[in-house]
Structure 1
Amino acid sequence: MLKRIAPDQLRLGMYVQEIPGPWMNHPFWRGSFKLEKYEDLKTLRSAKIDEILIDTTKGRDIIVEDAPKPAAAAPAEPEAETAKPRQAKISIQVGAEQERVQAARVLTGSKKAIMTMFNETRMGKALDVKQAMPVVQEITASVSRNRGALISLARLKTSDDYTYMHSVAVCALMIALGHQLGLSPEETRQAGLAGLLHDIGKMAVPAEILNKPGKLTDEEFTSIKKHAQAGHAILRGVDGIGDAALDVSLHHHEKIDGSGYPFNLKGNQISLVAKMGAVCDVYDAITSNRPYKPGWEPGHSIKRMANNQGHFDETILEAFIKSVGIFPTGSCVLMHSGKVGIVIDQHPGSLLTPTVKVFFSATTMAMLPIEIIDLATTRSGDKIASYADPSKMPNLPNLETIWASSGLN
């Protein structure tokens, strides 16, 4: 039986079925678990939580003296109110600057959850899909508010957390692409879950190969390639896993021309969601710093992907570019005026006029006073001429620092 109780009614041995509210606002990434540690009990009691849902069929019930005393002449409405469904919050579009703080919190919580899930899988424990869905829901909410903020922050990985943050980034990219393709909310959630779990098979790859800082040998690369089938085998045994996650885990390295792996599928032999996974996986991989190579600038990466004939489905790639922008957030661009800037936000439906933070002169190779230009509304007459190649500008400051700095700082 499910019961809603106050945090001070919690006792060891109870089964916590749900902690209402966003999972990142409470101290546990899992939504349901048996309360067996005194430290967890103290943490839950001290957290800013109004109520907790327990399942008395899986754990201890409240004892009589803990039950709330009914007030005199108490009306029946409060109990009826508790049974009413909670109204979902409606996402609204906000600027990247406004969303970035929330997106950073989502990324931190998501990374913690994925690290736990993946490491438990490496140790042979069964994956629980119900524990992954809250992560997908929070990422979906952030992407719905602003597509670029979380996706751009997720690029800023370290070599130690690459595998985990890559999974989070691909989840966000799949959700943004699902929106662009007009998938239903459930189809988009399943695509996001598929992105989150697409590399779960890497937990079957020896850690020394997975984290090798140098170039892989042919033998090591063969070992890495086995992660697609290993991931499919892991997910196939998971209760409640959807077809999308199974499909993407197995086929996200297939290519339209048949040169991919593991089965050399081509064209329509590859499903829509697997084609989506291929695009999102490659984009995040090539824009991220890796142990053996620095990431490419986002705009340059889009150009390279568009020129890579035979790898991607053209329709899917076109939709992907519309979802992240022709000049994605984080892109280094050269303006007609000779100024250099970095894209900090997008305007949906206006792919050529993002918001740009200008800070450098390609003519004098010197820093300029930082200026934020909204190309969709400004009348300055300046426009983006092309992508800028940071490697050809030796005095250019760290682009990640410029992009991540708030406002005009």
Structure 2
Amino acid sequence: MLKKIAVADIKQGMYLHELCGSWMDHPFWKAGFVLNDPADLQSLKNSAVTEVWIDTSKGLDLPVSVVSEDPEQVQIRAEAVLQAAAAPPPKPVTMSGEIKRALLICERSKHAVISMFTEVRMGKAIDMSGADALVSDITESILRHPSALLSLVRLKKVDEYTYMHSVAVCALMIALARQLDLGDELVQQAGVAGLMHDVGKMMIDDSILNKPGRLTDEEFEKVRLHPVYGAKLLLESDPAINPQVYDVCLHHHEKYDGSGYPKSLKGENISLFARMAAVCDVYDAITSDRPYKKGWGPAESLQRMAQWQGHFDPLIFQAFVRVMGIYPVGSLVRLSSGRLAIVTEKNEQNLLKPKVKVFFSSKSNLPIEQEVVDLAQAGCTESISARERIEDWGFRNLDDLWVE
């Protein structure tokens, strides 16, 4: 029997069915376990969560002297929440307004994936009970302002790549699914598929995954097995695993021309989700710093991907460009005036005219006063004349120009 109780009344031995409130406030990345560890109990009481659902059929019940909330009152309050959905949707937030929330989501998501994948490495079955909540929070951020979280997930430390890559592909899959006008359920499935696509890498030794030099042929063959390992892990953990999630895990390295792996599938024989994942996976990989390679800039990455004939489904790739923009946030560009600028926000109506922040003169080779320029604004005579590489100008890091 399910009971909703106050956190103040929780005791060791109770079965946590669900934690109420925002997932961002939760001390655990999942629910559905018996609260046996005193440290977990203290973490819950120290958190912002005030109420939880317990399952008395799987753990301890409340003492007789403590009364849980009346189920009828729970239903009345739930109905009020549903009725509130009829209210007009909130106005979109600004890029800077969403950045702060997106930073928190990225941090929470990283810790959730680390916990999930660490359990896999310890030989435990994959517990996906927290995946849906994580994907929902990412989706909500993208709905508020797509560019904020999609741009932040590119900024990851080398030693956290394996985990944050999964979060990044999850976010990119959600945004791409929405661009393709898929339904809410499919958007959610796309996010979970992106989150789990690389779980098979937990079966690959870290010395190979993080090797600073070129992999040997033998090491590369081991890495190429991670889709098979991941699909096997998912199926063993849950024989009823969502087919879309399983398929993306197994086939995200297939290429549209049939030259991919592990099955050399071609064209429409590759599922829609797997074709989407192929684009999202590669984009995040090549824009991220790795032990053996510095990541390319976002605009340069899209340009190079556009040159790879046969690698991606052309229509899926075009949709992805519409998601990110021809000049994604964080791209270094040169304006027609000769000033260098960093792209700070995509223009949904005209991908060639984003908002940029100028900061350097290519003519004098000196910094200039920083200024935000909306290239789409009436009367603006500036335009983007070229993509630039940060390394060519000796700049170390320009992220602080757009992450406020």
TM-score by length of 2: 0.94
CA distance in structure 1 between the partners assigned to 2:75 and 2:157 by the alignment = 50
What's the offset of the Cα at 1:69?
10
CA distance in structure 2 between the partners assigned to 1:345 and 1:66 by the alignment = 53
Give the secondary-structure state (helix, strand or coil) at the position aligned to 1:303: helix
Q: For residue 180 of structure 2, what is the aligned residue in structure 1?
A: 181
Q: For residue 47 of structure 2, what is the aligned residue in structure 1?
A: 47
8 A Cα contact 1:91 1:144, kept in partner:
no
Offset from partner CA, 1:10-42 (integer Å, 9 cap, x none):
111111111112212122211332111222223
Q: For residue 103 of structure 1, what is the aligned residue in structure 2?
A: 102
CA distance in structure 1 between the partners assigned to 2:95 and 2:105 by the alignment = 14
8 A Cα contact 2:214 2:292, kept in partner:
yes
What's the offset of the Cα at 1:350?
2.2
8 A Cα contact 2:4 2:69, kept in partner:
no
Overall identity of the aligned pairs, in %: 47
What's the offset of the Cα at 1:92?
5.0
Q: For residue 345 of structure 1, what is the aligned residue in structure 2?
A: 345
Q: Does 1:81 align with 2:80?
A: no
What's the offset of the Cα at 1:5?
0.8
Moved >6 Å (runs of 4+) = none
CA distance in structure 2 between the partners assigned to 1:167 and 1:397 by the alignment = 26
Whichever residue aligns with residue 257 of structure 2, its letter is D
C-alpha distance 397-294 of structure 1, shift in aligned 2 (>3 A): closer
CA distance in structure 2 between the partners assigned to 1:205 and 1:386 by the alignment = 40
Corresponding residue pairs, total = 399
8 A Cα contact 1:362 1:393, kept in partner:
no
8 A Cα contact 2:3 2:68, kept in partner:
no
Whichever residue aligns with residue 234 of structure 1, its letter is L
8 A Cα contact 1:2 1:54, kept in partner:
yes
CA distance in structure 2 between the partners assigned to 1:189 and 1:288 by the alignment = 25
Offset from partner CA, 1:103-141 (integer Å, 9 cap, x none):
010011100010111111111111122221111111111
Offset from partner CA, 1:41-81 (integer Å, 9 cap, x none):
233223333321111111111011222699xxxxx974552
C-alpha distance 91-30 of structure 1, shift in aligned 2 (>3 A): farther
Whichever residue aligns with residue 32 of structure 1, its letter is G
What's the offset of the Cα at 1:95?
2.2
Q: For residue 386 of structure 2, what is the aligned residue in structure 1?
A: 386
Give the secondary-structure state (helix, strand or coil) at the position aligned to 1:260: coil
Offset from partner CA, 1:144-203 (integer Å, 9 cap, x none):
111111121111111210000000000000001001001111111101111100000001
8 A Cα contact 1:365 1:393, kept in partner:
no
Q: For residue 137 of structure 1, what is the aligned residue in structure 2?
A: 136
Give the secondary-structure state (helix, strand or coil) at the position aligned to 2:129: helix
What's the offset of the Cα at 1:397?
5.1
Whichever residue aligns with residue 179 of structure 1, its letter is R
Q: For residue 286 of structure 2, what is the aligned residue in structure 1?
A: 286
Whichever residue aligns with residue 14 of structure 2, its letter is M
Whichever residue aligns with residue 256 of structure 2, its letter is I
What residue ranges of structure 2 are gaps of 5+ in the alignment?
none
What's the offset of the Cα at 1:380?
2.8
8 A Cα contact 2:7 2:49, kept in partner:
yes
Q: For residue 73 of structure 1, what is the aligned residue in structure 2?
A: none
Offset from partner CA, 1:268-298 (integer Å, 9 cap, x none):
1111110000000000000000000000000
C-alpha distance 337-5 of structure 1, shift in aligned 2 (>3 A): same
CA distance in structure 1 between the partners assigned to 2:269 and 2:373 by the alignment = 45
CA distance in structure 1 between the partners assigned to 2:129 and 2:90 by the alignment = 23
CA distance in structure 2 between the partners assigned to 1:207 and 1:18 by the alignment = 34
Moved more, 60-69 or 122-131: 60-69
Instruction: Give me the CA root mean square deviation.
Output: 1.9
Q: Does 1:19 align with 2:19?
A: yes
Q: For residue 213 of structure 1, what is the aligned residue in structure 2?
A: 212
1:6-405 matches, within 5 Å, as 6-67=6-67, 78=73, 80-82=75-77, 84=79, 86-87=81-82, 93-239=92-238, 240-377=240-377, 379-394=379-394, 396=395, 398-404=397-403
What's the offset of the Cα at 1:377?
2.7
CA distance in structure 2 between the partners assigned to 1:68 and 1:269 by the alignment = 53
Give the secondary-structure state (helix, strand or coil) at the position aligned to 1:59: coil
C-alpha distance 306-34 of structure 1, shift in aligned 2 (>3 A): same
8 A Cα contact 2:332 2:389, kept in partner:
yes
CA distance in structure 1 between the partners assigned to 2:291 and 2:72 by the alignment = 60
8 A Cα contact 2:4 2:68, kept in partner:
no
CA distance in structure 1 between the partners assigned to 2:69 and 2:105 by the alignment = 38
CA distance in structure 2 between the partners assigned to 1:203 and 1:68 by the alignment = 42
What's the offset of the Cα at 1:345?
1.2
C-alpha distance 397-370 of structure 1, shift in aligned 2 (>3 A): farther
8 A Cα contact 1:335 1:382, kept in partner:
yes
Whichever residue aligns with residue 377 of structure 1, its letter is Q
C-alpha distance 64-227 of structure 1, shift in aligned 2 (>3 A): same
What's the offset of the Cα at 1:91?
6.7
8 A Cα contact 1:334 1:386, kept in partner:
yes
Whichever residue aligns with residue 153 of structure 1, its letter is L
8 A Cα contact 1:23 1:31, kept in partner:
no
Offset from partner CA, 1:292-328 (integer Å, 9 cap, x none):
0000000000000011101000000000000111111
What's the offset of the Cα at 1:85?
7.0
Give the secondary-structure state (helix, strand or coil) at the position aligned to 2:60: coil
Whichever residue aligns with residue 364 of structure 1, its letter is S
CA distance in structure 1 between the partners assigned to 2:319 and 2:102 by the alignment = 23
